[in-house]
């Protein structure tokens, strides 16, 4: 393609002409800037001068006011002393003494009310009358007591001889002013005392002002408010003393402000900078002045120097600009000859470029381009105008149609820069160079990288990249959130900054060996957050190698396993601890006990194992509910922990049983003391659901090495000792003894036998008659269970019922008893015997079992029996624990017709008054009271009381365990309703009791059974 044509030759000359114009304009601007600078310096000097005269005005006013105030105070102090002296000579002495201490005064005089000087420091003034003209014109201050007159020049008073002025220190001018009169009259009236006339020496103040003005060509004037000149540092002002100065600066401004500054024109010196300041106490004004010409002397000299240097410099600059312009024109003409050759070279370069390239004209047309240049897509008009008109480069990426190979859009990158094309006769108008690059592959790669970066950055797992020196180059957002660091804090750092310090050097050495050999490492690692919290995680590291096989990058993937570790710890804790109390369980206890045995064996120490069982805890569960029982167990666990050391181990074995390991106990007494503390702590009352609950512990103690050297042996011995404590009345502790092994063996044999007794039909029922004390007739029977133990023969209930309650076997045994009693009652009735109620003992677990009443009704219905065919006996303790739910159960049984009685009454602490609200039919007096009736002691009294109060409540009374006639007679005499015991008959099986009932029905054996 051809290049554009050259521009006219006058266009080539315009740059040279513009250079001269710019140079001239610059010279003009420089001149204006210099002039402005000179003017600003002038104004600055005048501003400093104005500040200077204002400072001198303020300084002079402060000195004058202070001196006059001191004079006024001195006269105020002197006046009473002078007035106190009657003799004029003594007054003269007072005045001279005062004058000696007043350097600002020439003389002191006393003026009588008639205007005559009657005393003076200067004897020449005695008898004179001060010129009234001068005194009348004084100006009063301080309530008319202190007055300042106008200056008196040449003579001391009207006709006195001149007074020699004190040396003022000035040698450059004569002293023409004699004094400035000041009058002081105490109280402001001349009729009440003396008037002091003080001749103030103006030179005193002039000397001070001249010292302040040293080095400054200025002056200070002091005037009264009436514009009369009092004194001045200017020599030519001596003739103006006491006169009014017309046109003074402050006259028009004193009304608005007590100070000010400005320019004042003096007739003989021209314009001056002046400042005034009025005294706040005295009617005087201080004015300082300085001639402008003096203040601007330095500025004028600098201005002259600037002109002498600046004008030749500007002329030289213009000459240099002209020379430079001529040289530039010469070079431009020489370069024009090479324009055609450069155009040809440019075309060759464009053709050799692998990318599209073109020169664009002012209208965006292609002036010259190579074969790779694509005319489409066209440039946006706004971007083109910004490029060509404003010179804004273009760098954009734009789609260029579909790309069949990549199955996507083809992309071009267009870059254009404004240039000035050279021509033979000068530069052509500005155009542009444009380059097109195919970036389709790079675009696709960039999109893939962006997609991967987005995935990495939004991953929930921490990802970071390190270089070959193990310095962090990049980290995603998840890693920053996990560690708590910012990107600026970790970039360039070694990942070791995350380390928790829990791994040794061997751990990391193995990590690097794996990376070096396989390029991969993964495993669990402990890190630490920025705030110090532990951060466990699973780390995977991959080594990325370059083309030469050297490691270029390390990519690490970190997964937070804090919750996983917490879950593991929680599972481990739950596997080793009791979930209710948080105490170690049997597994952890056994492990710690085994370790403690090993340590004790190595060091020759002793240890103790305590087995604790809560007495009657089942009653709490049955009466208050399992929730209350759980809270009681938690409270008990806390109390136990307070009684042992932190190094000891407390374990909940299960249910209401606890184990304690005491290490390094020393001797058995130490273990006993701990047991005592435990009994005291556990036996304290505990508030559960608003009710006070008391449980007691039974504790067994086994000692190492005396009682065993293994975990199983020590725990077993402590368990046997605990059961021994239970068997000896509970709420106590006992150490293990070898004899307890036999008892434990017996207990285990009974428990094992009980579990198979029902299935083997080894239980049987015997029935003991209940006899009326009125007519001796059998009014009922009590069913008593017996166990035909194959090993030991017939066993009484006392040998196995308590164990059956502890093991829970009492419930199925109780159900069997109810079925068997109803079966036997049905059989007796079928045999034609008179129906009598059969009493059955009901244990608390059986009674509290849900659906108990319904079960009783079903059993009665199964044998076609009415409710009064049986009588259920409950213990006094169960009645004491009766709540609303149990009361409703008793009412439900009552509605079935079932009789209810309290067994062993008197062995507990129930109140007879409490019984009236319960559906009870009968009280059975405990046999312990019946055994001692013969002694007529407290048992007899209690028995008699129970009988009378029970009858008052409408209850039937039956006595148990009657074995002697005297006991029977006592009960009959006291009104007891019935009794049972060996006096009448021992318990009989069903057939023998049927025979007894038949004989009684025939009138045989009503007194005693066979």
The model's confidence at residue 168, banded by pLDDT at 50, 70 and 90, is very low
Rounded Cα gap, residues 655 and 629, in angstroms: 10
Higher pLDDT, 171 or 932: 932
Judge whether residue 580 has pLDDT over 70. Answer: yes
User: What pLDDT, on the 0 to 100 scale, is given for residue 864?
Assistant: 94
Rounded Cα gap, residues 696 and 580, in angstroms: 20
Which CA distances in Å does 838 have to 493, 786, 870, 872?
91, 16, 5, 8
Judge whether residue 771 has pLDDT over 80. Answer: yes
Q: Name the burial class of residue 239, with classes exposed (0-12), middle (13-18) and buried (19+) by CB atoms within 10 angstroms of its CB.
A: exposed
pLDDT 10s digits, 802-824: 778 877 888 899 999 999 999 99
The percent of the chain in helix, strand and coil, each rounded to the nearest 5, is: 45, 25, 30
User: What pLDDT, on the 0 to 100 scale, is given for residue 321?
Assistant: 75
pLDDT 10s digits, 700-744: 999 999 899 999 999 999 999 998 888 788 889 999 887 766 666
Q: For a pLDDT cut of 70, what percent of the chain falls above it?
A: 83
pLDDT 10s digits, 103-116: 888 888 888 887 78
Judge whether residue 157 has pLDDT over 60. Answer: no
User: What pLDDT, on the 0 to 100 scale, is given for residue 14?
Assistant: 45
User: What pLDDT, on the 0 to 100 scale, is given for residue 703?
Assistant: 92
Nearest Cα neighbor of 525 from 487, 570, 561 is: 561
Rounded Cα gap, residues 853 and 521, in angstroms: 70
Rounded Cα gap, residues 375 and 203, in angstroms: 101
Q: What is the DSSP letter of 150?
A: -
- Computed on alpha carbons and rounded to an integer, the radius of gyration of the chain in Å comes to 65
3-class secondary structure for 376-439?
CCCCCHHHHHHHHHCCCCEEEEEEEEEECCCCEEEEEEEEEEEEEEEECCEEEEEEEEEEEEEC
Rounded Cα gap, residues 200 and 493, in angstroms: 87
Judge whether residue 698 has pLDDT over 90. Answer: yes
Higher pLDDT, 966 or 34: 966
Higher pLDDT, 692 or 913: 692
Judge whether residue 429 has pLDDT over 70. Answer: no
pLDDT-wise least confident of 187-191, 281-285, 552-556, 859-863? 187-191
The pairing of strands 793-795 and 956-959 is unpaired
Compute the C-alpha angle 745/750/756, nearest 5°. 130
pLDDT-wise least confident of 219-228, 233-242, 399-408, 894-903? 399-408
Judge whether residue 589 has pLDDT over 70. Answer: yes
Alpha helices per DSSP H over 527-585: 562-576
Q: Within 10 A of 467 (CB to CB), how many other CB atoms are there? A: 13
Do residues 820 and 786 lie in contact, with contact meaning Cβ atoms separated by under 8 Å? Answer: no
3-state secondary structure (DSSP) of residue 854: helix
Write phi, then psi, for 447 (nearest 5 degrees): -65, -40
3-state secondary structure (DSSP) of residue 837: coil
User: What pLDDT, on the 0 to 100 scale, is given for residue 564?
Assistant: 78
User: What pLDDT, on the 0 to 100 scale, is given for residue 10?
Assistant: 42
Write phi, then psi, for 835 (nearest 5 degrees): -70, 130
Q: What is the DSSP letter of 573?
A: H
Judge whether residue 345 has pLDDT over 80. Answer: no
Do residues 221 and 100 lie in contact, with contact meaning Cβ atoms separated by under 8 Å? Answer: no
Read off the tokens for 248: 């003074």
CA 147 to chain centre: 75
pLDDT 10s digits, 907-937: 554 555 566 677 888 989 888 888 888 766 7
Q: What is the DSSP letter of 170?
A: -
Higher pLDDT, 34 or 661: 661
Higher pLDDT, 576 or 484: 484
How many Cα atoms occupy the beta-carbon half-sphere of 335 within 13 Å? Answer: 12
Average pLDDT for the chain: 80
Q: For a pLDDT cut of 90, what percent of the chain falls above it?
A: 24
Do residues 465 and 473 lie in contact, with contact meaning Cβ atoms separated by under 8 Å? Answer: yes
pLDDT 10s digits, 19-68: 667 777 877 888 888 788 888 888 888 888 888 888 888 888 888 888 88
Do residues 921 and 901 lie in contact, with contact meaning Cβ atoms separated by under 8 Å? Answer: yes
Higher pLDDT, 171 or 316: 316
Peptide bond before residue 182 is cis, with ω within 30 degrees of 0? no
Higher pLDDT, 221 or 355: 221
Read off the tokens for 278: 């009025």
The pairing of strands 472-475 and 356-360 is unpaired
Mean pLDDT across the stretch 269-284? 80
Q: What is the DSSP letter of 319?
A: H
Mean pLDDT across the stretch 751-769? 87
Token match 């008898």: residue?
127
Element holding 348 (H helix, E strand): helix 339-352
Judge whether residue 173 has pLDDT over 60. Answer: no
User: What pLDDT, on the 0 to 100 scale, is given for residue 4?
Assistant: 40
The model's confidence at residue 71, banded by pLDDT at 50, 70 and 90, is confident
Rounded Cα gap, residues 437 and 415, in angstroms: 9
Do residues 925 and 906 lie in contact, with contact meaning Cβ atoms separated by under 8 Å? Answer: yes
- Give me the DSSP letters along 713-741: HHHHHHHHHHHHHHHTTSSEEEE--THHH
């Amino acid at each position: 393609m051809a290049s554009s044509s050259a521009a006219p030759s006058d266009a080539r000359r315009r740059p040279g002409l513009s250079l001269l114009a710019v140079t001239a304009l610059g010279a003009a601007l420089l001149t204006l800037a210099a002039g402005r600078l000179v003017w600003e310096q002038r104004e600055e000097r005048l501003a400093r001068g104005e500040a200077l005269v204002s400072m001198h005005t303020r300084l002079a006013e402060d000195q004058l006011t202070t001196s006059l105030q001191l004079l006024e105070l001195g006269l105020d102090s002197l006046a009473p002393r002078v007035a106190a002296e009657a003799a004029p000579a003594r007054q003269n002495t007072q005045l001279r003494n005062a004058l000696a201490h007043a350097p600002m005064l020439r003389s002191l005089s006393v003026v009588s009310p008639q205007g005559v000087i009657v005393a003076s420091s200067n004897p020449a003034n005695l008898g004179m009358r001060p010129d009234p003209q001068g005194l009348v014109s004084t100006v009063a201050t301080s309530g008319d007591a202190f007055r300042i007159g106008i200056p008196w020049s040449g003579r001391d008073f009207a006709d006195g001889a001149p007074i020699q002025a004190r040396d003022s220190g000035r040698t450059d001018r004569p002293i023409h002013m004699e004094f400035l009169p000041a009058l002081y009259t105490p109280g402001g009236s001349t009729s009440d005392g003396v008037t002091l006339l003080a001749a103030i020496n103006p030179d005193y103040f002039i000397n001070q002002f001249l010292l302040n003005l040293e080095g400054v060509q200025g002056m200070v004037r002091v005037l009264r408010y009436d514009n009369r000149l009092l004194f001045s540092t200017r020599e030519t002002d001596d003739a103006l003393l006491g006169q009014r100065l017309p046109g003074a600066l402050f006259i028009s401004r004193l009304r608005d402000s007590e100070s000010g500054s400005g320019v004042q024109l003096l007739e003989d010196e021209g314009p001056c900078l002046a400042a005034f300041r009025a005294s706040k106490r005295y009617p005087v004004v201080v004015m300082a002045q300085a001639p402008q010409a003096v203040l601007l002397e330095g500025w004028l000299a600098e201005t002259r120097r600037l002109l002498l240097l600046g004008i030749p410099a500007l002329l030289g600059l213009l000459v240099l600009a002209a020379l430079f312009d001529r040289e530039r024109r010469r070079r431009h003409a020489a370069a024009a000859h090479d324009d055609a050759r450069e155009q040809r070279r440019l075309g060759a370069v464009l053709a050799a470029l692998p990318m599209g390239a073109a020169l664009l004209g002012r209208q965006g047309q292609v002036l010259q381009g190579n074969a790779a240049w694509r005319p489409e897509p066209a440039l946006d008009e706004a971007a083109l105008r910004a490029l060509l008109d404003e010179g804004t480069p273009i760098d954009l990426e734009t789609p260029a149609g579909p790309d069949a190979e990549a199955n996507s859009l083809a992309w071009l990158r267009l870059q254009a820069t404004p240039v000035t094309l050279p021509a033979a006769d000068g530069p052509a108008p500005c155009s542009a160079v444009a380059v097109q690059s195919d970036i389709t592959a790079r675009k696709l790669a960039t999109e893939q990288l962006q997609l991967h970066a987005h995935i990495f950055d939004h991953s929930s797992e921490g990802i970071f990249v390190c270089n070959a020196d193990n310095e962090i180059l990049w980290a995603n957002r998840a890693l920053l959130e996990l560690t708590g660091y910012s990107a600026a804090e970790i970039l360039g750092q070694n990942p070791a900054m995350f380390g928790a310090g829990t791994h040794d050097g061997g751990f990391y050495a193995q990590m690097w060996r794996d990376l070096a050999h396989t390029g991969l490492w993964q495993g669990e690692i402990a890190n630490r957050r920025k705030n110090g919290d532990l951060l466990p995680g699973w780390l995977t590291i991959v080594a990325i190698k370059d083309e030469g096989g050297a490691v270029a990058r390390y990519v690490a993937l970190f997964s937070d396993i804090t919750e996983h570790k917490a879950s593991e710890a929680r599972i481990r804790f739950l596997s080793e601890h009791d979930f209710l109390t948080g105490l170690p369980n049997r597994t952890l206890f056994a492990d710690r006990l085994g370790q403690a045995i090993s340590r004790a064996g190595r060091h020759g120490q002793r240890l103790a194992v305590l087995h604790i069982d809560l007495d009657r805890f089942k009653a709490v569960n049955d009466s208050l509910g399992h929730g209350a029982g759980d809270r009681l167990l938690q409270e008990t666990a806390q109390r136990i922990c307070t009684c042992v050391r932190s190094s000891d181990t407390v374990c909940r074995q299960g249910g209401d049983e606890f184990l304690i390991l005491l290490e390094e106990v020393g001797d058995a007494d130490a273990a006993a003391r701990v047991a005592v503390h435990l009994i005291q702590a556990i036996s304290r009352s505990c508030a559960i659901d608003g009710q006070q609950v008391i449980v007691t512990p039974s504790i067994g103690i086994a000692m190492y090495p005396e009682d065993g050297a293994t975990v199983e042996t020590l725990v077993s011995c402590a368990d046997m000792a605990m059961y021994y404590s239970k068997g000896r009345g509970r709420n106590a502790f006992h150490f293990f003894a070898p004899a307890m092994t036999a008892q434990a063996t017996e207990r285990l044999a009974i428990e094992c036998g009980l579990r198979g007794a029902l299935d083997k039909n080894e239980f049987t029922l015997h029935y003991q008659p209940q006899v009326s004390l009125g007519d001796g007739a059998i009014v009922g029977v009590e069913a008593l269970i017996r166990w035909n133990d194959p090993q030991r023969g017939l066993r009484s209930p006392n040998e196995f019922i308590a164990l059956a309650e502890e093991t829970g076997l009492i419930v199925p045994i109780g159900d069997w008893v109810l079925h068997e009693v109803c079966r036997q009652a049905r059989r007796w009735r079928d045999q034609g015997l008179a129906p009598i109620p059969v009493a059955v003992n009901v244990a608390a677990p059986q009674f509290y079992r849900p659906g108990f009443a319904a079960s009783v009704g079903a059993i009665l219905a199964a044998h076609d029996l009415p409710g009064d065919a049986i009588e259920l006996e409950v213990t006094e303790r169960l009645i004491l624990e009766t709540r609303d739910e149990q009361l409703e159960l008793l009412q439900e049984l009552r509605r079935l017709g079932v009789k209810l009685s309290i067994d062993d009454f008197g062995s507990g602490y129930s109140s007879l008054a409490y019984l009236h609200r319960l559906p009870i039919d009968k009280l059975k007096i405990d046999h312990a009271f019946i055994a001692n009736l013969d002694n007529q002691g407290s048992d007899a009294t209690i028995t008699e009381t129970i009988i009378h109060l029970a009858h008052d409540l409408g209850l039937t009374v039956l006595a148990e365990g009657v074995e002697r006639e005297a006991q029977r007679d006592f009960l009959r005499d006291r009104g007891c309703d019935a009794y049972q015991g060996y006096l009448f008959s021992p318990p009989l099986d069903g057939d023998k009791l049927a025979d007894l009932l038949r004989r009684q029905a025939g009138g045989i054996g009503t007194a005693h059974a066979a």
